[in-house]
Amino acid sequence: MITFEGVTKRYPDGTVALDDVSLECPTGRITVFVGTSGGGKTTALRTINRMVEPTAGRVLIDGGDVRERRPAELRRGIGYVIQHAGLFPHRTIEDNIATVPYLLRWNKKKARATAHELMERVGLDPSMARRYPFQLSGGQQQRVGVARALAADPPIMLMDEPFSAVDPVVRAELQDEFLRLQAELHKTIVFVTHDIDEAIKLGDRVAVFQTGGKLVQVDAPEDLLAHPADDFVAGFIGQNRGIRTLSFAETGGLRLRDDAVFAASADAREAAGLDWALVVDADRRPLGWVRPADETGPLAEARLAPVGATFRAGADSVRVALDAAVLSPAGLAVGVDEAGRVVGTAGGADLLAVPTHGFDGRADDGLPADAPEGAGAGEPAEAAKAPSKDGVGD
């Protein structure tokens, strides 16, 4: 548990980088700092490992003030990942990853063996171990940076815009890999980004900072979307926050229809009256869409339009399913199971009827109806396991 208690950072010229910041970063969860330029996100992050010393207030790790520990000792127990990876250009990949183990006086064999294990864990081919950073792509370098931060198995990881320097496709891959790793490792992570979509996708809790180092709101991402604390937060999130909220609506309770699904062996006349029919093979895997009125004879011989995207029923979010419906020529989302077999279809109206988290049981002020007096934006809240974040930022 990382706790900020009234943390303020004021520089000699009068600039206030942090203004009385109080919040908790729960154990084993990802807390994302997001906000405007000059909001103090990175400054707050760096107070945790004492790269920045606050003017007032305290930063605690499991109840202990970080100022009571020597900076070098403190930092060796905290993984740190930055933009552009920050690798040593004169060291091989394996030795870059083994940086902290070497500082902890591990023998070289053990340190390099750990580096090779971590390369596989972050999705790098161990054959790259003897290469140098300039021989890797930007995305590969960022994976090395993550592996280096994990090398000594620290309980805490600090990540300062680690994926912002790579292209959108690689960035999405790194985000997914990061979530997969966190599901295995359960580190306490503080992640800084300027991208609200990245914050919503990755964060169990999101802390929004405003210029001047003011912490405006701390909430689970679905609550942040449903109930922004003020106009600044609403504006920062953007006008499509309602669509983003669908990322936290689950498809598990969605009623899927089977009336538009036909085997390839069926005759087009069996689908008479339907604008579109979904043709599936003998294993119920989707083959494509067809207009029954335009065809005669077996659907196996019909001209098929592409299926478009599909969604995993009960696993993907409503946002993913709605995206599939938009991409479908029939305007219907195709739900499949883990094996890719069709379990049914759903239209846009069906999808939008699914209850969205955050809109029930709320008082007019945007707080839960039973919230204690004085609770509000920016105050620590109990951590709850975030629902599926599938599809955010896709």
Other CB atoms within 10 A of residue 159 CB: 25
Please give the average per-residue pLDDT across 227-251, as a whole number: 84
Q: In the prediction, which pLDDT does 86 show?
A: 81
**Residues of CATH 3.40.50.300 domain(s) within the chain?**
2-77+155-248
Q: In the prediction, which pLDDT does 357 show?
A: 58
Q: Percent of the chain having pLDDT more than 90? A: 51
Entry pTM: 0.73
Poorest-confidence range of 29-33, 66-70, 78-82?
78-82
- Give the phi and the psi of residue 6 in degrees, each rounded to 5: 55, 40
**Residues of CATH 3.10.580.10 domain(s) within the chain?**
261-352
User: Strand pairing of 56-61 and 64-65?
Assistant: antiparallel
Interval 99-113: pLDDT, tens: 888 888 898 899 999
Interval 165-182: pLDDT, tens: 778 888 888 888 889 889
Distance CA 209, CA 191 (A): 13
- Structure-token pair, residue 361: 């049981």
Q: In the prediction, which pLDDT does 130 show?
A: 92
Q: Is the pLDDT of residue 236 over 80?
A: yes
Please give the average per-residue pLDDT across 214-223, as a whole number: 93
- Classify domain 261-352 by CATH architecture: Roll (3.10)
Q: In the prediction, which pLDDT does 248 show?
A: 82
Other CB atoms within 10 A of residue 191 CB: 26
Q: Which residues contact 367 (CB under 8 A, 6 or more apart)?
A: 227, 375, 376
User: In 320-358, which positions are buried (b, 16+ CB within 10 angstroms) versus exposed (e)?
Assistant: bbbbbbeebebebbbbbeeeeebebbbbeebbeebebbb
- Give the phi and the psi of residue 45 in degrees, each rounded to 5: -55, -45
Q: Is the pLDDT of residue 127 over 70?
A: yes
Q: Is the pLDDT of residue 93 over 60?
A: yes
Q: Percent of the chain having pLDDT more than 70? A: 90
Q: In the prediction, which pLDDT does 131 show?
A: 92
Superfamily assignment of 2-77+155-248 in CATH?
Answer: P-loop containing nucleotide triphosphate hydrolases (3.40.50.300)
Interval 243-298: pLDDT, tens: 878 888 888 888 899 999 999 999 999 999 999 999 999 999 999 999 999 988 89
Q: In the prediction, which pLDDT does 255 show?
A: 87
Q: Is the pLDDT of residue 197 over 60?
A: yes
Interval 326-381: pLDDT, tens: 999 999 999 999 999 999 999 988 888 887 655 443 333 333 334 333 333 333 33
Interval 11-26: pLDDT, tens: 999 899 999 999 999 9
Please give the average per-residue pLDDT across 31-42, as a whole number: 92
Q: In the prediction, which pLDDT does 192 show?
A: 95
